[in-house]
Amino acid sequence: MTLASDRTFPRHSHDQLGIGVMFYGAHRSWSGIGQVEAQAGDTIMVNPGEMHDGMPVGGCVRQWRMVYLDPLLVRRVTAGEDAGEDEIVRPSVCDPTLAALFAQLFACVTAAPPDELLIEESLLRLVMHVLRRHGLRPAPASRTSPLVAKALARLDEDPAAPISLAELVGVSRFQLLRSFAREVGATPHAYLIQRRVRLARQLLAAGQTIVEAAINAGFADQSHMTRAFVRQFGVTPGRYVAATA
């Protein structure tokens, strides 16, 4: 993905490991370790499932490129290697070698026709460098309370289905709101919307029309999905479909 935008993105997460480079401008984001900033030339990274947001520094347009890697792909690529840990030290690092490795991989995957061997080599070099130089120790056992864990499981099970706070919790709804926001980094509604947007993106990638994806992802209508899609990804569903065609 390549994106240039002055948009502020709400808190959300991705199912994949994201690795990218800032090309110009500056970007500030909230992450699991607090507020961080990325300048032009910095590498930006996000763990699968890590809640984060993003805003331009000074309100100016910033541009970045990203690749999103399925965690199963990362494990397969590094199988049998001394790869280090599975998590990323910081959402933003200044590492010219890593930025160069990313540029090589990005050029490979966007080339036509693709060179499969070169892609494999570039991917391995990038992932190994990330995990060896910027890897964390394995994440500690989840600190999510049983109350929040139950609500998360319900929202993740079927994000397209209608839901109420009463269905998520058997005790105080306000207690759930406070605990969920503190532990997850977003309210139940905000979390549900970003899960629906991710589901809609999957449906669009699978060939469904924008109207079909909106309905099947649980949105009231196409315009509701479009607004949420743009807030999270910075592009309209139509542009996303055109880019992935």
Q: What is the 3-state secondary structure (H, E, C) of 111-148?
A: CCCCCHHHHHHHHHHHHHHHHHHHEECCCCCCCCCHHH
Q: How many CB atoms lie within 10 A of CB 48?
A: 17
Considering only CA atoms, which of 90, 95, 65 is closest in space to residue 5? 65
Given a contact cutoff of 8 angstroms between Cβ atoms, the answer to whether 41 and 99 are in contact is yes
Tokens of 137: 């120790």
Q: What is the pLDDT of residues 135-175, one digit of tens each?
A: 875 555 556 788 899 899 999 999 999 998 888 876 688 88
What's the average model confidence in pLDDT over 190-195? 93
Q: Which residue has the tokens 């909230």?
A: 30
Q: What is the pLDDT of residues 23-60, one digit of tens each?
A: 999 999 988 788 899 999 999 999 998 889 999 999 89
Burial of 49 (0-12, 13-18, 19+ CB in 10 A): exposed
In the predicted structure, residue 86 carries a pLDDT above the cut 80: no
Helix (H, G, I), strand (E, B) or coil at 20: strand
DSSP 48: T
What's the average model confidence in pLDDT over 60-65? 96
Identify which has the larger pLDDT, 178 or 209. Answer: 209
Counting residues of the chain whose pLDDT is more than 90, the rounded percentage is 63
Chain-wide mean pLDDT for the chain? 90
CATH of 146-244, one of 3.90.1150.10, 3.40.50.2300, 1.20.120.1200, 1.10.10.60: 1.10.10.60
**CATH assignment, 2-136:** 2.60.120.280
Distance CA 34, CA 46 (A): 13
Q: What is the pLDDT of residue 31?
A: 84
What's the average model confidence in pLDDT over 207-230? 95
What's the average model confidence in pLDDT over 59-79? 92
Domain with CATH 2.60.120.280 in the chain: 2-136
The pLDDT-based confidence of 19 (bands split at 50, 70, 90) is: very high
Tokens of 8: 């502020």
Q: What is the pLDDT of residues 91-115, one digit of tens each?
A: 999 999 999 999 999 999 999 898 9
What's the average model confidence in pLDDT over 63-92? 84
Domain with CATH 1.10.10.60 in the chain: 146-244
Lowest pLDDT segment from 39-53, 75-89, 191-205, 221-235: 75-89
Cα-flanking dihedrals φ and ψ of residue 88, to 5°? -110, 135
